[in-house]
Amino acid sequence: MHTLVVIRTYLKLGFLNMLQYRANFFFELLGVTTHLATAFIGLAVVFNQTEHLNGWSASEIVILVGIQTMIGGLLGTVIEPSFQQFMEHVRQGTLDFTLTKPADAQTMVSLQRVEGGAIAGIIAGIVTLFAGLSRQAEATGIGHALLFLLTLLSGVIIVYCFLLILTTFAFWFVKLDNILVIFGTSFGVAGSWPITIYPGWLKAGLTYIVPVAFAVTIPAQSLTGRLTAPWAIGTVVGAFGFIAVSRLFWRFGLRHYTGASA
Amino acid sequence: MRNPAITRRFTPREFLHFYAARFRIDLTTNIAYRGSVAIWLIGLILQPLVSLVVWTTVADSQGGSVSGFTTSEYAAYFIILMIVNNLTFTWVMYEFEYRIRTGFFSGILLRPVHPIHQDVTQNFSFKFLGLIGVLPAAVILALAFDAEFHASFLDVVVFVPALILAMALRFIIEWTLALLAFWITKTSAVFQLYSSVSLFLAGNIAPLWLYPDSVQAIASILPFRWMVFFPIEVMLGRLDLQDMLLGIGMQLLWLAIATGLLRLLWKRASARYSAVGA
């Protein structure tokens, strides 16, 4: 209960803070619209030459791009800016101020900054997702929709934990802000297509090293009726595993934090 | 107060000396930040790799060729694109906003050399380091995707000036565009629009021959085709001598226009500049 109050307060403060930069939202909206327009023209060129790409139709790829944009917006709104801020705190030794507060440090660190402009990505992603769904020949069943929500939630958890593990390394290596860029690049560039089209080594890398598959492809597969039972179960189990491992690693890392003048 | 010793023109010898020294400094700086260079390289390789996979998949599904080009030729296209992109990209557009906001320009403007020269050596040293990653990646991808190159000796000879002109053209155009930061505070939206348009019209998403004729015509009139796509086309052995000379002519024409624009804008921009607190 206490944690929920902390989460609510932090998010509320973050959003209030971001209201100072309202114009930024429109610039982000312009940016994400340009990005989506680029993606759609690219899709048009591809599907002008073929009906299916590795078994995926145009509207199914639109759904996938919608999910990618939505998750990208979600990460950009809270998780990425908070982790950037955390690394800055470790570098400057100001993490002390967070650690001395009587609440869970991981929760506070993960929610400490809100980048309101990135919400534009969430909105644009949802719109794109529904645009893709409406172009589907068959309506999406309730079963697929529920499975989608479950895998989407698991995917977001996996990515969050993955980024938490990466950021925790800041306790040892201090200057690490570039490391988040690796995920951002793989997610942004390779995530706009189903990873099943890539050669084996790249597919494995985007599944087990950088979990782009769990964040984008698997939710898209579940919504388009492609997800097999082992992968669905694996994704949910994987999410629980990631929660446990990242939490343990976070606490292990925290013990290595020595503060500014210690 | 103008100091005549500062405003006089440099002799070619002095310039050469300046370039050599700056290049050494910039190379050392980039080597110090090798981690960032490596991470930047991941993106530089991943983008064409993804397009390569998409288009070879499309070509395969259509029985091995699309628009008269085989799967192996698409592989060759995107591998050459990767190298040309590494040699022509700049990020000056993203630096100018920062430079103006932080007053970084105040110091630069006092130096007796036009600031563009410093950007040239910075850009060169980065591309040079980039090649260390990009060239092996190109060889590996060429083998993995069974790429087919059939450039004649003439194609290779013409490729060199076409590539150098493409580098110069893209650099000058993006530097000129970056000057907008002197007038507009939030330039990233403008730059993103430019990047998106150039993603298509320069041939990054798909080779230009896949677009409708009208789009190809627009790409040929605007500078985009001449900044990236043209040298690749030459290297793929797709053009006869007449088309190659015409292309070089277009590159020279756009280079002249862009340089004129740069001089004009720079004069106004530097006159307009005032540091925060001035």
Q: What is the pLDDT of residues B95-104, one digit of tens each?
A: 887 787 777 7
Q: Provide the pLDDT confidence category of residue B1 given band limits of 50, 70 and 90.
A: very low
Query: Considering chain A, what is the average pLDDT of its residues?
Result: 87
* Token pair of B32 as six digits: 């110090």
Distance CA A14, CA A23 (A): 16
B8, pLDDT greater than 80: no
A140, pLDDT greater than 90: no
The pLDDT tens digits of the residues spanning A222-245 come to 988 888 889 999 999 999 999 999
B4, pLDDT greater than 70: no
pLDDT at B254: 96
Domain ranges, residue A18: 2-254
Distance CA A92, CA A86 (A): 10
Q: Enumerate residues 120 to 179 of chain A having a beta carbon within 8 A of any beta carbon in chain B.
A: 178-179
| Å between B132 CA and nearest CA of chain A | 19
Q: Taking phi first (over 0 means left), then psi (-120 to 50 degrees means alpha), and beta for anything else, what does residue B184 get?
A: beta
Q: Which of B78, B236, B69, B61 is nearest to B144 (CA)?
A: B78
User: 3-state class of B229 per DSSP?
Assistant: helix
More confident residue, B270 or A207: A207
| Å between B241 CA and nearest CA of chain A | 29
Task: Quickly list H helices, B89-212.
Answer: 92-101, 104-110, 115-144, 153-178, 188-201
pLDDT at A261: 57
B230, pLDDT greater than 90: yes
More confident residue, B84 or B15: B84
User: Contacts of residue A174 in chain B, CB cutoff 8 Å?
Assistant: none
User: Contacts of residue A179 in chain B, CB cutoff 8 Å?
Assistant: 39
Distance CA B90, CA B122 (A): 10
The pLDDT tens digits of the residues spanning B51-70 come to 999 999 999 888 888 888 88
In a domain, residue A155? The reply is yes
In a domain, residue A259? The reply is no
Question: B110: exposed, middle or buried (C-beta count within 10 Å: 0-12, 13-18, 19+)?
Answer: exposed
User: Contacts of residue A38 in chain B, CB cutoff 8 Å?
Assistant: 196, 199-200, 205
Domain locations in chain B as residue ranges = 10-272
Residues near B183 by Cβ (< 8 Å), separated by ≥ 6?
B269, B272
Best mutation target, A22, A49, A192, A216, to test chain B (most B CBs within 10 A)? A49
Complex ipTM value:
0.85
Residues near A134 by Cβ (< 8 Å), separated by ≥ 6?
none
User: Contacts of residue A37 in chain B, CB cutoff 8 Å?
Assistant: 196
The pLDDT tens digits of the residues spanning B110-152 come to 777 788 888 888 888 888 888 988 999 999 999 998 888 888 9
In a domain, residue A13? The reply is yes
In a domain, residue A260? The reply is no
CB pairs under 8 A between A and B: 81
Other beta carbons less than 10 A from residue B114's beta carbon: 15
A202 in reach of chain B (CB within 8 A): yes
In a domain, residue A233? The reply is yes
Residues near A243 by Cβ (< 8 Å), separated by ≥ 6?
A157, A161
A48 in reach of chain B (CB within 8 A): yes
pLDDT at A107: 85
pLDDT at A251: 92
Distance CA B232, CA B85 (A): 10
pLDDT at B275: 61
Query: Considering chain B, what is the average pLDDT of its residues?
Result: 87
The answer to whether the Cβ–Cβ distance between B39 and A178 falls below 8 Å is yes
More confident residue, A159 or A116: A159
CA closest to B39 among chain A residues: A182
Q: Which of B163, B138, B8, B165 is nearest to B78 (CA)?
A: B138
Q: For residue B36, give the nearest of A178, A186, A192 by CB distance.
A: A178
Q: Into how many domains does chain A fold?
A: 1
